[in-house]
Amino acid sequence: MQNYHLFETVTKTLSALPCIIGNSLILHSVRVFPQLHSTTYTFIASLATADLMLGISVLLDTSLEVIATHSKNYTFNGYEFLCKSVEFIGITAGTADGFGIFGITLERFIYINFPLRYINILTKRKAIFIIVSIWMFCITYTLLGIIFSDMKINPGMMCQVETVFNTTVTNYIWAPVNAFVVIVVLCMYAKIVHVAVRTSREVRQIHGPKASDQSTSMKSNTSSLDKKSSSEKKITKVLLQVTSVYLVTYFLGLASKIILSKNKSNASRWFGAFATGFWYTNTWINAILYAWKNKDFRRAFHTTLKACWKTPNLDMERSVTAQEVSRGETKW
């Protein structure tokens, strides 16, 4: 095993554990805590599901690579099925990860540009429909690619699935679609930043010098609206940071593919390994951003982790006197 390949494998494996823990916390928080039951957090949960699947696929991929490295028989019964299953999970999750960023950006784009009609334009039911459509598309594309594929097993390396129609689909269908999605995300990203900056300037111009002239009643009437606006601004900033991290890793990976297609030197392979490892860090850094920048997620994470580490005192709970049992005052 080459050093650059070892570096890529170790980086991916080290990213798997925080990825699984962080995204499991996100999904649990969105499911349990009522303050996270909104359209925005529905898209966040979809992205966390894709990242969680990527973390699981990395662990399975590494396990198969260890088997291939230390086993003399690379084609034992079920190995091809395991390889295709791992590839299916990884490719589906990676595709859904990109479309998840698209969904989050679309949701923020609608909220920023149409704040008064946002509730009617993008209901939670419509958001679920968009998310289900994204996952169905990703599953269908990946499943077709895995079905019409051949196995290529190299000694000492993981199984590699070579798609029969790989050249046609990748060059003429998937690559343009993927590029189109990224371009749309970039356009919506720029529009969101532009509107947010313009709105902040207008608010400062209106309320800045005249803030002292406002009456107490006006301030009390607008306090709840200001809190909601401030919360939406914060979640918008967090999601813009999540999108920024994804775009950086995407263009870094794209650059590595272009370089490797033209030059297969040792330096270019090291750059490709670094780009791949850095891309996998994108699967767990979102949980850190949510916990750091979002108060609702921070509270949810704290409550969940506190409940996990809390050890109940069974002796105190079971210290029931015979008199309480006879009166029926116990809670058993």
Q: Is the per-residue pLDDT at 314 higher than 50?
A: no
Q: Quick one: tokens of 103?
A: 């969904």
Q: Which three-class secondary structure state does DSSP give residue 74?
A: coil
Q: Is the per-residue pLDDT at 332 higher than 60?
A: no
Instruction: Give the global pTM.
Output: 0.80
Q: In b/e form, how buried is each residue of 75-93, taking b as 16+ CB within 10 angstroms?
A: eeeebbeebbebbbbbbbb
CA separation for the pair 89, 165 (Å, rounded): 19
The residues near 231 (Cβ < 8 Å, ≥ 6 apart) are 295
Report the domain count for the chain: 1
Phi, psi (degrees; rounded to nearest 5) at 142 = -65, -40
Q: Is residue 176 included in any domain, yes or no?
A: yes
Q: Is the per-residue pLDDT at 12 higher than 80?
A: yes
Average pLDDT over residues 67-93: 71
Q: Is residue 272 included in any domain, yes or no?
A: no
* pLDDT attached to residue 59: 83
pLDDT single digits (tens) 143-197: 877 776 655 555 444 555 444 445 555 555 566 777 788 888 889 988 888 887 8
CA separation for the pair 257, 269 (Å, rounded): 10
Task: Please state, rounded to an integer, the average pLDDT across all residues of the chain.
Answer: 77
Q: Quick one: tokens of 217?
A: 């009643």
Average pLDDT over residues 72-76: 54
Q: Is residue 107 included in any domain, yes or no?
A: yes
* pLDDT attached to residue 21: 92
Q: Label residue 221 by pLDDT band (50, 70, 90).
A: very low
User: Which structural domain range is residue 129 located in?
Assistant: 12-210+221-241
* pLDDT attached to residue 329: 43
Q: Is residue 25 included in any domain, yes or no?
A: yes
- Enclosing H/E stretch for 231: helix 216-262
Q: Which three-class secondary structure state does DSSP give residue 257?
A: helix
Greatest CA separation for the chain: 84
Long-range contact pairs involving 129-133 (C-beta distance under 8 Å, separation at least 24): 130/103, 130/106, 131/42, 131/43, 131/46, 131/103
| Nearest CA-CA partner of 91 in 178, 189, 3 | 178
* pLDDT attached to residue 133: 94
Q: Is residue 26 included in any domain, yes or no?
A: yes
Q: Is residue 256 included in any domain, yes or no?
A: no
Q: Is residue 124 included in any domain, yes or no?
A: yes
Q: Is residue 254 included in any domain, yes or no?
A: no
Query: What CATH number is given to the structural domain containing 184?
Result: 1.20.1070.10
| Nearest CA-CA partner of 6 in 269, 282, 279 | 269
CA separation for the pair 280, 203 (Å, rounded): 39
